[in-house]
Chains A and B, each alone.
Chain A
Amino acid sequence: MNAFLDLFITFFKLGLVSFGGGYAMIPLIQTEVQNHHWLSMSIFTDMIAISAMAPGPIATNTATIVGDKCLGLPGAVVACLAVTLPSLLLILVIGKLFVKFQNHPLVKAAFYGLRPTIVGIIVFAAVKFALSDGIIGGGHLIDVKSALLLLAAMVILIKTRLHPAYLILAAGIVGMVMFG
């Protein structure tokens, strides 16, 4: 029971501060996964790949699958509920009010600082993943094959509107050829 409560509190907390949705939440989940020793970083990376491939918000997908990996289906339900509950409460309580206040100077000023911070946190997450997956900083400093894949994917993601699911599938095939 304690493990479930821990899972709930953790994801509720994350749901409460995950401004910017989706990818902004990944570094937060990543830190918690590491601190709680829930999953290894490579498994966690795979879980993100699955979350990005599946339809639906990546934040709830990642929370669900991490919950599932930790405590099975009940864990998945708890994590998914916990991560969405703050949104529900906040919107019910301040939703209508916020329509009026979103242009308030103080709110605008807070977001002026909040947004660059979130970008910074996501950049940090990308670096951390690259390190823990051995793409950079590994035995050879840079794993050339992986780095090339990363760059190619980056260019495709920025220049085209290709859905990540196709990119992940294609990368899987390339991986089978390259590393198989």
Chain B
Amino acid sequence: MKWGELKMEKKKLDYKLLLEIFLVFFKISPITFGGGFAMIPIMEDVMVHKKKWIGKEELVDVFAVSQSVPGAIAVNSAIFVGYQIAGIPGALIALLGIVTPTFVIIIALGVLFASFQHNVHVQAALRGIRPVVVALIASAAWKMSKVSLVDKTCVALCAVCVIALLLFKSLNLILVIISGALVGIVLVQVQKLQKQASAQKKVRGEKL
């Protein structure tokens, strides 16, 4: 009896709210050029201030988790916010809302590209664009390095990673990523032991 009532109540509540969630993310999606971080202030404005769906601190948590979980930050945060507001249906509808507009746009652009691809001028334009794509990727690495390479050990780990990938072409990237996490755990452990050892030495030194 109680279960049934709960379910009914949930369902009643859902549809309007779900539609609203869908529309909010549907609207946010195409205006957030650059995805991820560009979305944060807009999300805060809509979710926290206008709709009052979640608190500001909750949203901070959402973004923290969205960056740690694999996948695009924009998609992750939409899923998580949707989940916080309306459970699993909310998560699904938010995902649909955030993905649909950009999906349509990218397909349209792809069709457009396919029809002009062999044009001489487009070919020339693409020769100008390809170096910029390399720069985009390189600058992403640069920007990420500012928050990722926090000390010399990190710089060394990053360098080892690049060299290993360049030398051994058949390395599996997924395994490299997993090893990176494991190496991190080992390194932190070693650093801890070193600190303990030097602290002990200090204590002994003082005693002598």
Contacts and interface: CB of A to CB of B under 8 A. Distances in A.
B99 interface: yes
A141 interface: no
Interface string A93-118: 01100110010011111111111111
Contacts of B124: 175-176, 178-180
B134 A126 contact: yes
Contacts of A149: 128, 131-132, 135
B8 interface: no
A54 B110 CA distance: 10
B137 A26 contact: yes
B43 interface: no
Interface residues of B, number: 95
B129 A171 contact: yes
A123 B141 CA distance: 6
Interface in A34-66: 42, 45-61, 64-65
Interface in A135-180: 135, 146-147, 149-151, 153-154, 157-158, 163-165, 167-168, 171-176, 178-180
B95 interface: yes
Contacts of A19: 68, 70, 177
B193 interface: no
Contact of B109 (A48, A53, A129, A176): A53
Interface residues of A, number: 104
Interface string B86-128: 0010011001001101110111011001000100110111111
A104 B162 CA distance: 28
B13 interface: no
Contacts of A180: 120-121, 124
B17 interface: no
A119 interface: yes
Contact of B173 (A27, A51, A65, A109): A27
Contacts of A179: 123-124, 127-128
A167 B65 contact: no
A41 B60 CA distance: 39
Contact of B68 (A102, A146, A153, A165): A102
A179 B120 CA distance: 10
A120 B165 contact: yes
Nearest to B188: A109
B134 A115 contact: no
B133 A116 contact: no
Lowest 5 A-B CB distances belong to which pairs?
A175-B128, A113-B184, A117-B180, A56-B102, A120-B161
Given A60-B102, A119-B161, 18 more contacts: A17-B173, A22-B140, A25-B72, A50-B109, A54-B106, A56-B98, A57-B72, A98-B65, A99-B64, A102-B65, A112-B154, A114-B184, A119-B145, A120-B157, A126-B134, A127-B162, A153-B135, A175-B128
Interface of B: 29-36, 61, 64-65, 67-76, 79-80, 83, 88, 91-92, 95, 98-99, 101-103, 105-107, 109-110, 113, 117, 120-121, 123-145, 147-150, 154-155, 157-162, 165-166, 173-174, 176-189
15 contacts: A45-B134, A54-B105, A56-B101, A56-B105, A60-B99, A68-B107, A88-B91, A98-B65, A109-B185, A110-B184, A112-B187, A120-B157, A146-B131, A158-B139, A179-B124
